[in-house]
Amino acid sequence: MERNEIYGDQPKRDTIIDFTPVLGTWLNSNTKTRWIEKFTLTKHDEKIIMHAYSTQSPEDWGETEVTPFVDNINEKGFCARYELDSVESLLAANMNKGLWVIAAFLKFKDGNQPNFLCREFYYRLD
């Protein structure tokens, strides 16, 4: 049996991705994280904006526009980029059972440490 027979087809071309149900503040379930402690998703002028906060300097990563995605069973996802003084980060996120799962691909600019991948889980705070 093919995956499409179980889970449905790819979304139609005119599908509108509604992020309204996932807007708000999300908190990392890993209390010892060294990366994103929490983030907010808001909507401004039809754009979805992420504001991330870290446990380390810089603590406030600021805002960036996210690119929203939807899968064949209408689960949400997004990708975002942050360009910080010491690290470039690419975030790839997907919803799973009411949690955001974020895979962060981190490239350190000083070259003193290897590129790093971490995956962490976020639950709704509000």
Of 88, 121, 120, nearest to 105 by C-alpha is 88
* C-alpha–C-alpha distance, residues 16 and 39, integer Å: 24
Question: Residue range 34-47: average pLDDT?
Answer: 96
Question: Residue range 68-86: average pLDDT?
Answer: 92
Say which residues have a Cβ less than 8 Å from residue 112's Cβ, sequence separation at least 6: none
Rounded-to-5 percentages of helix, strand, coil across the chain: 5, 55, 40
Confidence of residue 7 (pLDDT cuts 50, 70, 90): low
3-9+19-124: CATH class: mainly beta
pLDDT in tens, 13-26: 777 788 999 999 99
Q: Is the pLDDT of residue 4 over 70?
A: no
Confidence of residue 6 (pLDDT cuts 50, 70, 90): low
Query: What residue segments make up the domains of the chain, in order of their start?
Result: 3-9+19-124
Q: Is the pLDDT of residue 122 over 90?
A: yes
* C-alpha–C-alpha distance, residues 97 and 51, integer Å: 22
Place of tokens 């526009």: 65
This prediction has a pTM of: 0.87
State residue 65's pLDDT score: 98
State residue 11's pLDDT score: 65
The CA-atom distances, in angstroms, between 56 and each of 47, 95, 108 are 28, 25, 14
State residue 1's pLDDT score: 45
